[in-house]
Amino acid sequence: MSHRTPVLFKRITPYLLLLPTLCYMAVFIGYPLVEAIILAFQDPTSGMFSLVNFETLARDFHFWEALKYTFTLAAIIIPLQVLLALTVTLILGTRFKGSNLVLYIFIIPLTISDVAAALIWYNILSGSGYLNKVLLSLGLIDKPLHFFGYAYRDMEVLAIVITEIWRATAIVFVVLFAGFQMIGRDYIEAAEVFGASWLQKLRYIILPLLKPSLQTALIIRTLFALQIFGVVWILAGRDIPILAGEAYYWQNEVRVPNVAAAYSLLIAAFSVLIGWLYIKLLKPEYLVRE
């Protein structure tokens, strides 16, 4: 028995180490997910299995608007954030004097919550905000620019895009910059020896080696984009309906948690589908080769 005990302990040690994580996931992720699935497929009146909640979504005008605006915002914000984050990564990768200061300044918005960021930009872009005051004092405009209100929904979208780019680009940047730091200098130096131009180094060395980081950044940022709520709700309310906002509305205003759960499942399904597409389309080269 004395010889078997250490062997048995070694076998079960990995499972014991994983046990706290599994308990956390079961309580805080698994249980809410199961409850959401039950609510989504449960008739609010009879409690029986039904698709009535999804039928309610399909008949609701705001659902289709929320679907459109959620994916429109994601399609605008994510490419701009990736492009900006990649540009800053390449610039800071040159290690110029003061690059560390620029790095710290660029990631400051990462410490600010979405609600705080929305309030900051609301005060900047409102009719009596700082932007209009500066433009009016410089004589660049004759009357204030209006960013908020149902009649200015296009401007509300612009305000949301500006706020999200300012607030969350640092998320993408941190992932890409960490991946860029892992690229060996010998690859780039070898390319320089063979006379590769800057664009050739970017296309054939930097971007291929950044694929794993880019894949991770896109998955994380897309998940956040599909769940966007605080910024839109503060800047536009239901003028710009979004999926997470409609889930909040049905849960807290209409008091029908079943429909809110149906919205949540749709957000989860879209997130899983898009994440799977990223994994398939941005598979690193070393995973493609047999």
Q: Where are the domains of the chain?
A: 65-181+211-288
- For the chain, give the number of residues: 290
Mean pLDDT is lowest, of 87-96, 118-127, 225-234, 243-252, for 87-96
3-state DSSP percent of the chain in helix, strand and coil, to 5: 80, 0, 20
CA distances, 9 to each of 6, 15, 22 (Å):
5, 10, 19
pLDDT digits (tens, 9 = 90+) for 152-189: 999 999 999 999 999 999 999 999 998 898 887 788 77
What are the backbone dihedrals phi and psi of residue 49, each rounded to the nearest 5 degrees, phi first? -65, 130
Q: Cα(106)–Cα(79) distance, rounded to whole angstroms? A: 18
Q: Give residue 77's pLDDT.
A: 95
Q: Cα(42)–Cα(32) distance, rounded to whole angstroms? A: 15
End-to-end alpha-carbon separation of the chain, Å?
46
pLDDT digits (tens, 9 = 90+) for 218-242: 999 998 999 899 999 999 989 999 9
**Residue 290 — very low, low, confident or very high, per pLDDT cuts 50/70/90?**
very low
Q: Cα(48)–Cα(46) distance, rounded to whole angstroms? A: 5
Q: Which residue has the tokens 């296309």?
A: 203
Q: State the greatest distance between any 2 C-alpha atoms of the chain, in Å, as a whole number.
A: 89
Tokens of 28: 């805080």
Q: Give residue 2's pLDDT.
A: 52
pLDDT digits (tens, 9 = 90+) for 123-144: 999 988 999 999 999 988 889 9
Is it the case that residue 206 has pLDDT exceeding 50? yes
pTM for this predicted structure: 0.86
Q: Most confidently modeled of 13-17, 188-192, 272-276?
A: 272-276
Q: Give residue 5's pLDDT.
A: 63
Q: Cα(85)–Cα(207) distance, rounded to whole angstroms? A: 13
Q: Which of 99, 230, 82 is nearest to 169 (CA)?
A: 82
Is it the case that residue 247 has pLDDT exceeding 80? yes
Q: Give residue 287's pLDDT.
A: 43
The DSSP code for 151 is G
CATH number of 65-181+211-288: 1.10.3720.10
Q: Give residue 244's pLDDT.
A: 94
